[in-house]
Chains A and B, each alone.
Chain A
């Protein structure tokens, strides 16, 4: 199953190792950038970690792939991920779980776990991930690297295989803030093919100056379910920011109560529709042509989708179905608006919000067996996706040798400020 293991990839960070050459010299010349396997690469298999796309070789490049190749990046391969991004550990991959470089018995986090492992292990200097409900920040935190979920609309989704369109963004991952910032600069160039994108390219501003910056500390980010040792690390990191002249402000985000439910209703609903196209007719493994349509289609999906994918399709179908739409999907959109309003209210008073990225450190592979406990791990990352605001995870020490991530969230289109605060912290603890 784990294709990579035979090819000098003990962490199973890659689904496909393939050297995709640069197209020209540029700011990424000489730099390897691993690409998550849900980002379309012309001529190189793109599976989304799913057996249903095994053998699918796209005839086109995603916008971000165009951009990094034009800037001189070499793509060493396509990284492992939870099938279609549906997971927080990269255990749900159709090609075997990825392993955490810090402890191969533990998960990388997910769903961009392969990208994080590739960067953390030095197989690639940078990587592209995608973040629907924490899929960049979670593995960045678990593997001890930097990962940014940009403002919704700042990076083109053209070529990103959709899981939950209204929530997800492609984003940069790297070992340090500067690299992460450079990659973000490259991939944020405008693309009219994505109607949800705005022409607001990211202009790095990493000066480390955060004097007078007001940082909100929402109580809910340190609540039930958050490992006290993690809380402790993050509180210390906030102390470092205060030492640099930032002012911390205790605050509240009441919509956190239902944010996770709103997130899962929304993402499964969108997914149930997005994943309907995988019928094997136009691409991918072919259905049994002798059978009638619905039978062939069902058989195909049962055979090639993993259980978590089918579970989410079921939930999403239910949440959109006649009689339940208002109770679930409709209500989730109202909840989403409350989350947005919470952020808007907080950002009138503070410049950033700080808290842990994940409630715990990386768990052992196989430790979380029921789906709901896995979902609950996303509680701290999903609000940013619901509101479309930028959030970065930056390493802030470790608990028993396992990395902890500090999450910094900012106003829409202020990714630069978020990255600068992360940079200030990184430089302060390095010194």
Chain B
């Protein structure tokens, strides 16, 4: 069983906001899903999945970048920079 505190902790780790009213139903669903995942305990041991393909590379060649005005038009721009909330 995962507690509401744990769900809240994961929500913080995931940077997903959770409203207090949402916590009980989220926790309930979370536990139902984890119960279902318990079937994985029965998976026979073995190697993880691998595609088997390696070394897919491109040559070091410059291709055009996006026109700056198209980039800045997508966001809140200031002096050619893109604005974001403070991190300090």
Decide if B87 touches A337 in the complex (CB within 8 Å): no
- Given the known inter-chain contacts A59-B66, A282-B82, A292-B85, please indicate yes or no for A314 contacting B47, CB distance below 8 A: no
Q: Is the CB of B40 within 8 A of A258?
A: yes
CB contact list, B24-60 vs A, under 8 A: 26, 29-30, 32-33, 36-37, 39-51, 53, 56, 58
Question: Which residues of A are found within 8 Å of B1, using beta-carbon distances?
Answer: none
On whether A317 and B10 interact (CB within 8 A), knowing A59-B70, A282-B74, the answer reads yes
- Per the 8 Å Cβ criterion, residues 313-354 of A in contact with B are 313-315, 317-318, 321, 327-328, 330-338, 340
Contacts of A286 in B (CB 8 A): 75-76, 83
Task: Assess whether A232 is interfacial by the CB under 8 Å rule.
Answer: no
A337-B74 in contact given A192-B58, A272-B14 (Cβ < 8 Å): no
Residue pair A328, B37 in contact (C-beta under 8 Å): yes
Point out the residue from A59, A294, A335, A372 that lies within 8 Å of B33, measured CB to CB: A372
A294 to B14, CA, bound (A): 10
CB contact between B39 and one of A257, A282, A310 (< 8 Å): that residue? A257
A257 to chain B minimum Cβ distance, whole angstroms, is 6
**Cβ of A296 and Cβ of B85 under 8 Å apart?**
yes
* Contact status of A313 and B14, CB under 8 A, knowing A59-B66, A297-B85, A370-B29: yes
Which of A32-40, A204-212, A261-269 participates in binding chain B? A261-269
A372 touches B32 (CB 8 A): yes
- The B-contacting residues of A in range 273-317, CB under 8 angstroms, are 276, 279, 281-283, 286-299, 301-303, 305, 307, 310-311, 313-315, 317
Q: Are A261 and B16 in contact (CB under 8 A)?
A: no
Q: Is A6 an interface residue (CB 8 A)?
A: no
Residues in chain B within 8 A of chain A (CB atoms): 2, 7, 10-11, 13-19, 22, 26, 29-30, 32-33, 36-37, 39-51, 53, 56, 58, 66-67, 70-71, 74-76, 82-87
